[in-house]
Chains A and B, each alone.
Chain A
């Protein structure tokens, strides 16, 4: 049954793999295999991404003209609320850790599975239940609070002027999704601590694992605060306990503190795994040892820690005292440094490399450009004097789309291409891949760069219509045109990836020349990943690999000793 493929010198097709090990729908839905759970998460997340993307196109279409085109005020408010809610809670937060991380993390560790496979399956099912609650929010009256659920609007259930009826189902859904996220994080922390193979010290881990580890800490520590906050919100709305509602003596700004105490770290739950993917993509596709390993690893941890101390920068105009604002502004700038360190180290990694212009690397390079803009525009928003003008305008919208969409999701799509051969056992068409990237990259920048000007010129967020004489329309036209290009890019991508499953060339074990352990088992991996825990060396030392043309992939150089024989002093 087990055809263990730890030796890429003699590659052969492994007939038994995780995809065909057992058959039938049941064997998927209740599998404990981290790879299948990862694939199911991937399908679920991409489905939600499709829904949220359609909503985004509706929003962009509405804003083509000052008076709106296709929706009335309330429909527009629902469209942007659902777009935001679905993208944050159902797509970006689970995308990299729960989908790609689930698939790759145990294999990178040479383990058979995560530490708690049943908890992993439960996480997936909680995601499904959470998603159903979001659907329930639509059925029970719609949701128009914005994804932030700000009080007192969200606890005001009066018809016409209050929020729509779906608030309690939606926050219940977000509450449940929070547990899905906590379970994934706990699982990964324990897995990384306990299941590393012999020889893999902390500083020999692929940087992807460092990023996922930092993310998991945030998921476990920050998410409960969101759970408590949303539970209080639901109770406030249902029974009027008077914690957030000012007419009952509550404090609506307290909600904002609670909410951002989670949701700022949540921003890093979204971007840290993206950075983690990029660290590995740059190294593997440049065939160069990562530059400044420890600095990149420590910067992930630094970002995770700082991210707990900066939530107040979302509230510079909400009525906080000037002193508190000054303190939060100062701490906010501290997060800029580790992010900058990562960018410089990625660039240094490319120096003297052998840089492949394939799709994953193009996404990685696109990420560096987009993330640089996203990070730099954070300076305008962390600066008190300029944030007062820019707060709650399209400048903020553009900034966080550059980080969450242009960075986190672009990294996810780059990672999807990187591990696609491993996941499906098939190669996609590289030329279509480059075309898809070009459309996504151009479409993204046209859509969101114009929103920086829109915002700094004064266009507020969450507006279904806007004044005709303010000069906003030209930017909106650019932005909407860009969103259509972006959509075409994603359809092209979905098309060639789907095609590759049926008609793609069979993938070798190691198509890119990666050194981490997932490239040492066959594509797709066998059910058990490895029959015995492999030992590892420096996962960024690519000099031990060479191209083998019969295999169309990279194999271990015949004249170099395998890591099993390496002395353990190589760290």
Chain B
């Protein structure tokens, strides 16, 4: 009854509520096709809440003041009614009708949220402690902690986790879905406003849960195609000289939740001074050996760059003292050989690099620590990733 009365009104309002809007008192900026509808439902519930909260509070205060027993008085005013069936039925049936209406609009909105359009652009998402990987199979592009998507085209995420539960949440799109290890889950959205939006992990996933952030960049179709094309060949086309800067700006964010650039050791060892330590061979492993043991003539790491390469692609082989074997071992499938080369070059030249480019003249002898590196390092992997 109530459904049939409310439905036409609700549906016509919902149809109109698909405009992108700015931040309101309750909700953040709305940038997806479903956001307007969800905000409408939220405000619909809010109105009911305001009315009831006002009524309850007003009656409460009114009775409390009107029937106040003054200090020193001890009256027993046991006169009013003690029950009333009509009243009980009224305040049972009206809320019942309202919650049925709320349930109904919530369900309708939810079904829209769950059923992705058939022509969606698909992205594979991997959640891992504590970073996101976004794979665009159509372009052969793998991104980390940054996701570029086309404007006004439905995007479907097929999501999995390699370790514990995670949850992908983009407030501006009003979408959220858990990533469960051992199965895929999906989520879809259609971004209707170009811009950059924060993506959070909202299922507690351990130590650095609150650092498991990413940015969604919504680009107009032509710009999106152009960017994907650029990403797909950027490391192939780059001159060798630009590779380390490319690694620092485009690859390092995959390492940043565990490996710092400023000397602080967290889950993994810092990258600062790494190359010096490797060359000296004084790195000690959990089995008591040192890097020197592997480095002499004919040794496994006679060429020290091989140690860095091996540590990226097969990180469990030698574990540094005081650290645990926790680095994901799937980078071989995520990195092309030239990207590994870029990372090795980045680590070798870390003290001469900033996000903008080389510091000083190329190829000069190692200069002492450059302040510019430190400041850019702390800005680089922070909360706001640089846009692509």
Contact = CB atoms under 8 A, between A and B. Distances in A.
Contacts of B183: 246, 319
Interface in B63-88: 63-64, 67-69, 73-84, 87-88
Given A326-B107, A350-B67, A458 B80 contact: no
Interface string A287-298: 111111111000
Contacts of A73: 207-211
A128 interface: no
A156 interface: yes
Given A365-B60, A373-B53, A353 B67 contact: yes
Given A385-B41, A468-B383, A333 B103 contact: yes
Contacts of A162: 206
A379 B49 contact: yes
A368 B60 contact: yes
Contacts of B37: 385
A24 to B, nearest CB: 41
B180 A356 contact: no
Given A347-B63, A393-B202, A554-B74, A383 B82 contact: no
Max chain A C-beta neighbours (<10 A), residue from B37, B185, B204: B204
A84 B95 CA distance: 32
B204 A329 contact: no
B96 interface: yes
Nearest to B87: A348
Given A160-B326, A352-B77, A153 B205 contact: yes
Given A292-B88, A354-B77, A385-B41, A286 B174 contact: no
B181 interface: yes
A543 B76 contact: yes
Interface stretch (A105-113, A335-343, A411-419): A335-343
Contacts of A337: 92, 95-96, 99
Contacts of B11: none
Contacts of A74: 207
Contacts of B60: 347, 350, 365, 368-369
B182 interface: yes
B269 interface: no
Interface stretch (A41-49, A114-122, A165-173, A459-467): A459-467
Contacts of A388: 38, 110, 113, 174-176
Interface stretch (A7-15, A144-152, A264-272, A494-502): A144-152
B32 to A, nearest CB: 11
B332 interface: no
A34 interface: no
B180 A318 contact: yes
Max chain A C-beta neighbours (<10 A), residue from B108, B114, B206, B208: B206
Contacts of A547: 74
- Tell me what chain B mostly uses at the interface: helix, strand, loop, or mixed: mixed
Given A153-B165, A319-B180, A369 B57 contact: yes
Contacts of B87: 292, 344, 348
Determine the interface band of chain A, counting residues with CB < 8 A from chain B.
35 or more
A389 B171 contact: yes
A470 B28 CA distance: 9
A422 interface: no
A214 to B, nearest CB: 18
A144 B204 CA distance: 10
Contacts of B75: 287, 354
A210 to B, nearest CB: 16
A355 B69 contact: yes
A156 B164 contact: yes
Interface in B32-73: 37-38, 41-42, 45, 48-49, 52-53, 56-57, 59-60, 63-64, 67-69, 73
A494 B88 CA distance: 40
A295 B92 CA distance: 10
B38 A341 contact: no
A467 B27 contact: no
A494 B25 CA distance: 37
Contact of A353 (B48, B63, B129, B326): B63
Contact of B174 (A159, A330, A350, A389): A389
A504 interface: no
A351 interface: yes
B384 interface: yes
A411 B165 CA distance: 36
Nearest to A341: B92
Contacts of A66: 383
Given A73-B211, A286-B67, A379-B99, A253 B180 contact: yes
Interface residues of B, number: 94
Given A293-B83, A457-B171, A288 B113 contact: no
Contacts, number: 304
A386 B178 CA distance: 16
B142 interface: no
A58 to B, nearest CB: 16
B176 A389 contact: yes
A18 to B, nearest CB: 28
A292 B207 contact: no
Interface string A353-390: 11111000000010011001100110110111111110
A247 B180 CA distance: 12
Interface in B187-207: 198, 200-207
A545 interface: yes
A372 B57 contact: yes
Contacts of B198: 458, 467, 470
A336 B209 contact: no
Contacts of B281: none
B204 to A, nearest CB: 4
A62 B165 CA distance: 25
Nearest to A366: B60
A287 B182 CA distance: 61
B77 A158 contact: no
Max chain B C-beta neighbours (<10 A), residue from A288, A295, A317, A470: A317
Closest 3 CB pairs of A and B: A458-B171, A385-B109, A246-B182
20 contacts: A73-B209, A153-B165, A161-B326, A247-B181, A252-B165, A287-B76, A317-B176, A319-B180, A347-B59, A352-B77, A354-B69, A365-B60, A376-B52, A386-B109, A388-B38, A392-B203, A457-B28, A457-B171, A467-B198, A546-B74
Given A145-B204, A458-B200, 10 more contacts: A73-B208, A153-B204, A161-B163, A246-B180, A337-B92, A376-B52, A386-B109, A457-B23, A465-B210, A545-B76
Interface of B: 23, 25-28, 37-38, 41-42, 45, 48-49, 52-53, 56-57, 59-60, 63-64, 67-69, 73-84, 87-88, 91-92, 95-96, 99-100, 102-103, 105-114, 129, 163-165, 167, 169, 171-172, 174-178, 180-183, 185, 198, 200-211, 213, 267, 323-326, 383-384
Interface of A: 66, 73-74, 77, 144-146, 150, 152-153, 156, 158-163, 246-247, 251-253, 286-295, 317-319, 322, 325-326, 329-330, 333, 336-337, 340-341, 343-345, 347-348, 350-357, 365, 368-369, 372-373, 376-377, 379-380, 382-389, 391-393, 453, 456-458, 460-471, 513, 540-543, 545-547, 554
